[in-house]
Chain A
């Protein structure tokens, strides 16, 4: 080999042809990696950008500022200002009062637009507006008879026009609006009567019917999600930590323990929808718990989250070196004492991180909740605890799904807005987890 007489030591300073080809292959390979990472990054950016641009509109809402003359003849026919009596007056009557108010405002500004019908003028405001005014009047009966300034919701199409979703072209093809109506809205906006501002109600209100996207909010869904997270927190975390302690510290190494371990890692990979089927069969059909209730959702998510809490908790316990246990046993502590006094406190940061990430995953889970009836249309925010656990409720991700199933494109904006809310919660939880990890990270 080396005695080969033809073998001339080539200079190191020159690359031979083969090395050049190999280096080219090397470069290509590197590029594949860069391209793969670039694709992932672009996907992430496009995904977030789409959701943010589509959902930003949900946080802004267009209102029409009009003086409404609260006609006693219509709103309080008995004339005694008794809220119980006034409650009998339906929103329909308020609608007529409001229609008159809008028409008066248009007339006051002397706006004339070709082809503008009364329907266009009345359609300027949301159907939800009459309920808005009615609620206010029932709360303050003395307002009747006065002329009060109201910021009422504009209709979904008008709102969409100011957010760029609805254009003159699309309005011409739309039976729910018309170019003339949009012109009128523009005129009113020019005069400062229509304003677009931050939409706190999106975070406060419950869902609205599919005719009124402008009034739909995520309030009820946030409460529902919060209740479910409480259930998960109070069930999955203690049970998960207890199970991890048993498996990691006390369980004898035998077949039975092995079965439990394999079981847990398999449960972590069971599709979430299967947990939904379990919830439906076990909690609703068998145990008779109510549909759509946060307690059921919480229980299903608890079962789903358990293995996802157990796995990191066991890792955290395992990371505590045996010398700590030996030290505790050496001064006469029992095994139980060594675990609860020494090992567990040292593993706490790791356990907390795993717990938060498990909760974050549970918060974003949708599929199992669809099966236990959480897709139902929920108009009311669930009551306080503990009764609220059994009230019908929605959840943030389910609310998103719900809105995607409606025909009005305005609900896509709401769905994306709800996702932004969800992502903000997830972001907070993840930042908390990272902070905990950084602050308490310990290397042995």
Chain B
């Protein structure tokens, strides 16, 4: 079903590869949710996962930082290498892993704390700062990185839940960025936002690419086309096609991909 030659065609040099997935299978109880997924995700690149609902794209995303561990019936097989180390190795502590692989969720989920404390949460638990001044620096940097600093710099002690939806989502991005991750996973980050807020977040993603590898799950093909350099199309638990975004949208090689992007399945 998935032709490995295609990856070779894309001429990926191993040095750029951040995440390598090999034969990843996910089961929810008896349900085989993800079948034999092989994919290489590049550093400092935006990779989009697209596909119809229930195709396994979010499931795969949650495998990368082992968020599936929190679901008792989920079982993962195969290997996912981050910088050559299998994240499912018995010696890996998911806590340490998640500090390196940050995540932004579908719905903005700021903690019921102040804006400052929201952003400072990650650095605090991972002990990234030695003193308050350093922490202030990290918070400011993260908020600037999330293009939120100018909007909130005068009200850092107000609750994060009081911000608008788009601001909340950027706050969550800032929160994820503050722990200096190497990979940023985004699970449909704009699905709960209005078009203006969506545009702001998309702009932000473009900037984030300079620092990390960004993996984004999205329902919107336009969004994938706008923000990503690489796109993977999932269907019924299979990775159908993976390649440069331009190629996927203009010259899809698989008939299912073509059907999806032309709106016939989905």
Q: Which B residues lie within 8 Å of A9 (CB)?
A: 83, 100, 182
Q: Which residue of B82, B125, B127, B211 contacts A12 across the interface (Cβ within 8 Å)?
A: B82
Distance of A410 from chain B, by nearest CB (Å): 53
Contact yes or no, B180 A15, CB < 8 A? no
Asked whether any CB of chain B lies closer than 8 Å to the CB of A109, the reply is: no
Check A13–B83 contact: CB distance below 8 A: no
Contact for B141 among A1, A11, A22, CB less than 8 A: A1
Which bucket holds chain B's interface residue count?
Answer: 20 to 34
User: Given known contacts A12-B92, A19-B95, A22-B95, is B138 in contact with A1 (CB within 8 Å)?
Assistant: yes
**Interface members, chain B 185-232 (any A CB < 8 Å):** 211-212
CA distance A76 to B138 in the complex (A): 106
The chain A residue with its CB closest to the CB of B83 is A9
Q: Are A13 and B89 in contact (CB under 8 A)?
A: yes
Alpha-carbon separation in the docked complex, A18 to B128 (Å): 10
A residues in contact with B240, CB < 8 Å: none
Q: How far is the CB of A83 from chain B (nearest CB, A)?
A: 75
B91 with A13: CB separation less than 8 A:
yes
- A14 in the interface (beta carbon within 8 A): yes
Residue of A nearest to B138 (CB): A1
- Cβ of A27 within 8 Å of any chain B Cβ, yes or no, is no
* Cβ B126 vs Cβ A18 within 8 A: yes
Minimum Cβ distance to chain B for residue A339 (Å): 37
Provide the A11-37 mask, 1 if CB < 8 A to any CB of B, else 0: 111111011001100000000000000
Tell me if A2 is interfacial: C-beta within 8 Å of chain B.
Answer: yes
B100 in contact with A12 (CB, 8 Å) = yes
Complex Cα–Cα for A9 and B97 (A): 11
Q: Is A7 an interface residue (CB 8 A)?
A: yes
Q: Which residues of B contact A7 (CB under 8 A)?
A: 180
Contacting residues, chain B, for A1 (C-beta < 8 A): 138, 141-142, 180
Which A-chain residue is minimally distant from B87 (CB atoms)?
A12
A2-B180, A12-B82, A12-B87 known; A22 vs B125 contact (CB < 8 Å): yes
Q: How far is it, in angstroms, between the C-alpha of A2 and the C-alpha of B211 when the chains are bound?
A: 7
Interface centre among B83, B96, B138, B212, by most chain A C-beta atoms within 10 angstroms, is: B96
Per-position binary interface string of chain B over residues 62-98, scored 1 when its CB falls under 8 Å from any chain A CB and 0 otherwise: 0000000000000000000011010101011101110
Which of chain B's residues has its CB closest to A10's CB?
Answer: B96
Contact B141 A15 (CB under 8 A): no
Contact indicator B96/A2 (Cβ below 8 Å): no
A12–B96 touching, CB < 8 Å: yes
Question: Once the chains are docked, how many angstroms separate the CA of A181 from the CA of B100?
Answer: 83
* In the bound complex, CA of A3 to CA of B100 (Å): 14
Closest to A4 in B: B180
| Contact of A13 with B212 in the complex, beta carbons under 8 Å | no
Q: CA A203 – CA B93 in complex, angstroms?
A: 62
Cα(A16)–Cα(B126), bound, Å: 11
Identity of the chain B residue whose Cβ is nearest the Cβ of A23 in the assembled complex = B93
Cβ contact of B89, chosen from A3, A4, A12, A22, cutoff 8 A: A12
Q: Is the CB of A14 within 8 A of B91?
A: yes
Nearest CB to that of B178 among chain A residues? A1
A15 and B211 in contact, given A1-B180, A2-B180 (Cβ under 8 angstroms): no
A13/B180 in contact, CB under 8 A: no
* Residue numbers in B under 8 Å from A15 (CB-CB): 91, 93, 96
Least distance between A221 CB and chain B CB atoms (Å) = 48
Q: Are A18 and B127 in contact (CB under 8 A)?
A: yes
Residue of B nearest to A14 (CB): B91
Which A residue sits closest to B211, measured CB to CB?
A2
Q: A11-B85, A22-B125 are in contact. Are A16 and B180 (CB under 8 A)?
A: no
Question: A127-164 toward B: CB 8 Å interface, digit per residue (1/0)?
Answer: 00000000000000000000000000000000000000
- In the complex, A94→B231 CA distance in Å? 104
Report the minimal beta-carbon distance from B103 to chain A, rounded to whole angstroms.
Answer: 16
Residue on A nearest B125 in the bound complex, by CB: A22
Which chain B residues in 155-191 approach chain A with CB under 8 Å?
180, 182
Per the bound structure, the CA–CA distance linking A13 and B94 in Å amounts to: 10
For the complex, give the distance between the alpha carbons of A6 and B83 in Å. 18
Closest chain B residue, CB of each to CB of A20: B93
Docked Cα-Cα span, A9 to B18, in Å, equals 12
- A19 to B93, Cβ gap below 8 A? yes
Which chain B residues lie closer than 8 Å to A13 at the CB level?
Answer: 85, 89, 91-92
Which partner residue on chain B sits nearest A11 by CB separation? B85
How far is it, in angstroms, between the C-alpha of A4 and the C-alpha of B182 when the chains are bound?
Answer: 13
Contact in complex: B180, A19 (CB < 8 Å): no
* B95→A12 contact, CB < 8 A: no
Interchain CA distance A22-B99 in the complex, whole Å: 13
Q: Which residues of A contact B212 (CB under 8 A)?
A: 2
Q: How far is the CA of A2 from the CA of B100 in the complex (A)?
A: 11
Residues of B within 8 A of A11 (CB): 85
- Which one of A13, A15, A23 has the highest number of Cβ atoms from chain B below 10 Å of its Cβ? A13
* Chain A residues within an 8 Å CB radius of B141: 1
Interface positions, chain A 160-200, Cβ under 8 Å from B, are none
Q: Is the CB of B95 within 8 A of A23?
A: yes
Which chain B residues border A3 with CB–CB below 8 Å? 211
Contacts of A14 in B (CB 8 A): 91
- Residue of B87, B91, B141 most packed against chain A (CB within 10 A): B91
Is A12 in contact with B126, judged by CB distance below 8 angstroms? no
Instruction: Report the Cα distance A2→B99, complex, angstroms.
Output: 13
- A-B interface, 8 closest residue pairs, ranked by CB to CB distance from nearest: A1-B180, A12-B85, A13-B91, A12-B92, A2-B180, A2-B211, A18-B127, A19-B96
- Return 15 A-B CB contacts under 8 Å, by A number: A1-B141, A1-B180, A2-B182, A4-B180, A7-B180, A12-B82, A12-B83, A12-B87, A12-B92, A12-B93, A12-B97, A13-B89, A13-B91, A16-B96, A23-B93
- 8 new A-B contacts at CB < 8 Å, known A12-B100, A13-B91, A15-B96: A1-B138, A2-B180, A2-B182, A11-B85, A12-B83, A12-B93, A19-B96, A23-B93
